[in-house]
Amino acid sequence: RAEADPLRPRFHFVSPAGWLNDPNGVSQWNGTYHLFYQYNPEGAFHHRIQWGHATSTDLVTWTDQPVALEPSAGPDAEGCWSGVLVNDGGTPTLVYSGRFEDRELPCVAVGSPDLLNWTKDPANPVIAAPPAGVDVTAYRDHCVWREGTKWRQLVGSGIRQRGGTAFLYESADLRRWDYIGPLFIGDASQGDPADTDWTGTMWECVDLFRAGHGSLGSAPADGSPDVLVFSAWNDGDTRHPLYWTGRYAGDSFEPAALHRLDYGGRFFYAPQSFEDESGRRVMFGWMQEGRSDAAMVEAGWSGVMSLPRTVTAAEDGTLRFAPVPEIKKLRRDHASLPGQVLGTLLAPLETGVSGKQLDLELDLQLAPGALVRVGVLGSTGGATSGSPAEETVIEVRRAVDGAGNGSLRLDRTRSSLDPAVDAEDKSGPVPMPGGRVHLRVILDRSAVEIFANGIALTARVYPTLGGDHVSLAAEGTAQVLSLNAWTMADIFDGTRSLFP
């Protein structure tokens, strides 16, 4: 191919070739950030999964490293599926799911001091089977942490006719594990698979952490919640990240409330987080494709890693997300608009901003019932109505009740003239005290990450016309207190092909 693919993101991490899915082993080790990921370099399809590896000193630019884990004869012969990195007294150690004969079991590998060479434990798998006597829907993915003098591990699973779960284990050496029991069992009979908060028949990629101060298992000095993140799955279409807030104590988790982690659902899937050396909790998620398997293979690449985002707990214990501030290093060509009033009778505002790689920050003041629309990737030459033929629209709306309630919506119905791509509506509630909204829109060609007062909505879009206009419109009365926009620089130089 002679030309770069216009849909391939340029400041999000993508695999050098083929297929990428879940983030794995996310960590900071002696100052260097490590991102491993589910990888198939052979093509843009999920098969014989390896662990790709990239490193960074700033969470912004990434250096490709050799593949860390590859399937080999034995318990991971069919794939090295998701897992984590832990520090075993100075020895970097991976705990991952080895796939063999269509099932997955926990495996361990130890790394060289630079984390580039990995040796699988000859005793793999380190747990020989799921808990005896339990009819599991699946059994894979790991969350491992130190508690006192022991290691603890969660393995994601589900119990047939009941719901998703995570099995808790304990070990002194990461090799011999004692089964404790299910940490907590979801109830799949509540709601149904079409619900955006259905907890599924299996929990993929469980991630348990204390949000705020203190570490897992310690008495909380303040109201910092414990959070159990999981990707709800069934063998139909359900795939979305959720979290329970609650308290992990002793051998169980007492849930307080269930929340959606990202309103994009499957477009921010299998998230994994870590605490970096500065004490921040940083999370990555897999931004999967919204096009057909055939279209991915044809494109030659599939899957985008989200920007790393910080995770903090709001006063009510729910989570707030923001791209790590380091990302601002990529900002170029600043443009801003002075305060503006927008309203029903006013024409959409041509902001003068354009681009396919953008970082937009808006501060908005909405009257009760008002709605603000931000259009991106807008094409010209549209229908006689004057609206562009393609445009991706982000909407924030304040509830009519005048209280601090509102919502965020991503309207992709006109994102693409290609009828085959995913255009499902994505939306959810957003707290809007006093009608104020801080809206951040990060656009990287087919990747879009939206944050409204810290609530996240992540998705993919596939415009065909190459439009890059940004417009603003409103219904009711709204004020744009400020709008700042930057184009975003590429993170890979010409030595890493934009083509697999």
Residue 49 or 452: the one with the smaller Cβ distance to ligand DQQ is 49
Spatial separation of the C-alpha atoms in residues 37 and 40, rounded to whole Å: 10
Rounded to whole angstroms, how far apart are CA atoms 99 and 84?
16
Q: CB of 53: closest distance to ligand DQQ in angstroms? A: 15
Site for ligand DQQ in 94-133 (CB under 6 A): 97
* Residue 296 interacting with ligand DQQ (CB under 6 A): no
Of 31, 11, 18, the residue nearest 359 (C-alpha): 11
> Among residues 296 and 371, whose Cβ is nearest to ligand DQQ?
296
- Site mask, ligand DQQ, residues 39-58, x = CB under 6 A? ----------x---------
Q: Interaction with ligand DQQ in 186-205: which residues (CB under 6 A)?
A: 204-205
The residues that bridge with 164 in the sheet, in sequence order, are: 158
Under the criterion CB under 6 A, does residue 262 sit at the interface with ligand DQQ? no
Nearer to ligand DQQ (CB atom), residue 141 or residue 276: 141
Among 26, 126, 270, 461, binds ligand DQQ (CB under 6 A): 270
423, 268, 451, 344 alpha-carbon torsion, rounded to 10°? 10
Residue 19 or 486: the one with the smaller Cβ distance to ligand DQQ is 19
Sorted by sequence, the CB contacts under 8 Å of residue 122 that are 6+ apart come out as none
Q: How far is the CB of 290 from ligand DQQ (least distance, A)?
A: 15
Should residue 19 be labelled a site residue for ligand DQQ when binding is judged by CB under 6 A?
A: no
Residues 124 and 8: their CA atoms lie apart, in Å, by 38
Cβ proximity to ligand DQQ: between 69 and 205 the closer is: 205
- State both tokens at 331: 């900002």
125 and 117 Cβ atoms separated by less than 8 Å: no
Binding mask 379-408 for ligand DQQ (x = CB under 6 A): ------------------------------
In whole angstroms, the minimum distance from the beta carbon of 79 to ligand DQQ comes to 7
Using the 8-state DSSP alphabet, how is residue 329 labeled?
G
Q: Is 103 or 280 the residue whose CB approaches ligand DQQ more closely?
A: 103
* Cβ 21 to ligand DQQ shortest distance, Å: 5
Q: Is 458 in the site for ligand DQQ (CB under 6 A)?
A: no
Measuring CA to CA, how many Å separate 500 from each of 1, 20, 302, 390? Answer: 10, 12, 10, 28
> What secondary structure letter does DSSP report for 201?
S
Closest CA to 96 of 116, 82, 79: 82
Residue of 10, 11, 22, 289 interacting with ligand DQQ (CB under 6 A): 22
Residue 402 burial (CB count, 10 A): 12
Neighbours of 400 (CB within 10 A): 12
Is the CB of residue 479 less than 8 Å from the CB of residue 339? yes
Tell me what percent of the chain is helix, strand and coil, each rounded to the nearest 5.
5, 55, 40
Q: Is residue 269 a contact point for ligand DQQ (CB under 6 A)?
A: yes
Instruction: List b or e across 124-143, with b for residues whose CB sees 16 or more CB atoms inside 10 angstroms.
Output: bbbbeebbeebebbbbbbbb
Q: Which of 60, 127, 141, 166 binds ligand DQQ (CB under 6 A)?
A: 141
According to the binding rule CB under 6 A, does residue 364 interact with ligand DQQ?
A: no
| 258 CB-near residues (< 8 Å, 6+ apart) | 197, 199, 242, 243, 244
Shortest CB 24 distance to ligand DQQ, Å: 9
- Least spacing, CB of residue 232 vs ligand DQQ, in Å: 11
Place of tokens 């501030």: 325
Position 207 contacts ligand DQQ (CB under 6 A):
no
Nearer to ligand DQQ, 105 or 313 (CB): 105
Binding status of residue 272 toward ligand DQQ by CB under 6 A: no
By the rule CB under 6 A, 36 interacts with ligand DQQ: no
Count of residues interacting with ligand DQQ (CB under 6 A): 13
Give the rounded distance of the alpha carbon of 487 from its chain centre: 23
Residues of this chain that interact with ligand DQQ (CB under 6 A) are 21-22, 38, 49, 81-82, 97, 140-141, 204-205, 269-270
